[in-house]
Amino acid sequence: MMLGAVDVIMLSRHSDNSVAAVGVVNQIIVLTFLIFEVINLGTSVLCSQYLGAKMHKNVVQVVGVSLLMNLVVGVSVSLFLFSMNETILQWMGLTPELMKDGTDYMRIVGAFAFFQAISLTLSASLRSANKAIYPMMVTVVVNVLNIIGNYTLIFGEFGFPEMGVEGAAISTAFSRGVSMVILFIILFKKHIRKFPLAYFRPFPFKELKNLLKVGLPSAGEQLSYSSSQVVITYFINVLGTEALAARTYSVNIIMFSFLFCIAIAQGGAICIGHLIGEKRPHAAFLLGKYVMKKSVLITVCLSLITALMGPFIFGWLTTNEQIIRMGVTILAIDVILEIGRPINIFATNALRAAGDVNYPFYLGLVVMWSVAVGCGYLFGIHWGWGLAGMWVAFLLDENIRGIVFVRRWYGMKWVKKAL
């Protein structure tokens, strides 16, 4: 997450327009990255359950198939983003004054999207094997590289030219490439020392089928969310550059409030996958209750602190009073939103790990598009409540889904869905 956030924070010293442009591009980049998640989510779930069931050959097959698939898909996506960057941003309704910054950033980051495709697969396989410490260490190194690269290339330090948005894109793409290389080295040293050809002759189509069986609906839920965010970003374009910049700043600030719940949800999901593989569903249920309660408590506390610090944070990022006013209002509304979001993040991860992959997809598809998008347009555009109105719609979306997910977890219908 820091790679995108650091770009936004450091570009805020360059101009609010560059922040707005990069915010739109990042929505598109995140959406395309979800194509990679079709395979990665399946990798995480299958590896967790196979490791719990002591089926090590299947683990090797799953990781090998995942790397091959995401290499092919990643290169295809990279070519698409590189060649279609301006057309895509025109579809998004990006204004002429933002177009140059947007195309510069998207052309470079998009061209090397395949670095992220491979890195996500490698990280998923390591985390599922209880080796999450290694992707974390790599992330620390990569973020330090990105900060140094941004400082050097955005502002033209150490004899380099001042490149602005283009410099941020080069730094981000390079950092992702370094991440991929280091993760490959770690995989071979600490998890899977080799991929025997005998494991892939004949090709393990069964594992590919299982990957898609888990991955398609799992990624579908995330795709639904990101697609809805792209449509909402299009609506925010109507409200003007200030609203777009305020939204970009707010999203990157709020991200740190729910970072803990993402971490504990992913860790909980891996443990739940192991427990399901060991045929211990009641233990998985109890662990899920614990994770849900801790996620909500800590996320709401962090979001409250963030809201109280809102004027200081926005004052540090920009001098535009309209952006500061909108941003501070959003942070206040977000405190209530963060009651539902941790439950949703946990439930989608945990149900997926248990094999209940369709339920989060269908629920997300119905509620996100009817409440977040439909009410977002109604409150924000039609009724003229602006960005704050849209955030109220997001609040309703997250909390409605949260209530439904709690009922699903306690109902324990997911127990029969194990692979």
Tens of pLDDT, residue by residue over 78-110, are 999 898 888 888 887 777 888 888 888 889 988
Structure token digits, residue 400: 């409605």
Tell me the pLDDT band of 158, cut-offs 50, 70 and 90.
confident
For 74, phi then psi, to 5°, come to: -60, -45
Judged against a pLDDT cut of 70, whether residue 4 lies above it is answered with no
The mean per-residue pLDDT over the stretch 166-179 comes to 90
Q: What is the pLDDT of residue 416?
A: 82
d(CA 159, CA 196): 48
pLDDT, tens digit (0-9, with 9 covering 90-100), for 256-279: 888 889 989 988 988 888 888 888
Which of 349, 405, 285, 297 shows the shortest CA–CA distance to 127?
A: 349
Judged against a pLDDT cut of 80, whether residue 215 lies above it is answered with no
Tell me the pLDDT band of 146, cut-offs 50, 70 and 90.
confident
Structure token digits, residue 265: 């949800």
pLDDT, tens digit (0-9, with 9 covering 90-100), for 397-409: 999 999 999 999 9
Judged against a pLDDT cut of 80, whether residue 226 lies above it is answered with no
Domain boundaries, the chain: 1-203, 214-411
Distances (CA, A) of 314 to 133, 249, 338: 33, 8, 20
Which of 346, 114, 364, 77 shows the shortest CA–CA distance to 220?
A: 364
Count H helices and E strands in the chain, helices first: 17, 0
Q: How many CB atoms lie within 10 A of CB 95?
A: 16
Structure token digits, residue 367: 């509620």
Share of the chain above pLDDT 90, in %: 30
Residues with Cβ within 8 Å of 309's Cβ and at least 6 positions away in sequence, in order, are none
Cis amide prior to 202 (ω within 30 degrees): yes
Q: What is the pLDDT of residue 242?
A: 86
Q: How many CB atoms lie within 10 A of CB 88?
A: 20
Judged against a pLDDT cut of 70, whether residue 418 lies above it is answered with no
pLDDT, tens digit (0-9, with 9 covering 90-100), for 111-136: 998 998 899 889 988 988 888 899 98
Q: What is the pLDDT of residue 174?
A: 92
Residues with Cβ within 8 Å of 99's Cβ and at least 6 positions away in sequence, in order, are 21, 86, 89, 90
pLDDT, tens digit (0-9, with 9 covering 90-100), for 12-56: 777 778 877 887 888 788 778 777 877 887 787 788 878 877 888
Q: What is the pLDDT of residue 159?
A: 83
d(CA 147, CA 149): 5
Tell me the pLDDT band of 302, cut-offs 50, 70 and 90.
very high
Q: What is the pLDDT of residue 245?
A: 84
Q: How far apart are the first and last CA of the chain?
A: 31
What average pLDDT is seen over the chain?
Answer: 87
Q: What is the pLDDT of residue 32?
A: 80
Judged against a pLDDT cut of 90, whether residue 331 lies above it is answered with yes
The mean per-residue pLDDT over the stretch 299-307 comes to 95
The mean per-residue pLDDT over the stretch 375-384 comes to 92
Tell me the pLDDT band of 3, cut-offs 50, 70 and 90.
low
Share of the chain above pLDDT 70, in %: 99
Q: What is the pLDDT of residue 330?
A: 94
The structure's pTM equals: 0.69
Structure token digits, residue 403: 């209530």
Return the higher-pLDDT residue of 375 and 238.
375
Tell me the pLDDT band of 76, cut-offs 50, 70 and 90.
very high
Lowest mean pLDDT among 208-222, 286-300, 315-329, 380-394: 208-222
Q: What is the pLDDT of residue 358?
A: 85
d(CA 365, CA 387): 23
Judged against a pLDDT cut of 80, whether residue 8 lies above it is answered with no
DSSP conformation letters of 42-78: HHHHHHHHHHHTT-HHHHHHHHHHHHHHHHHHHHHHH
Helices 205-239 and 56-83: crossing angle, nearest 10°? 40
d(CA 264, CA 294): 9
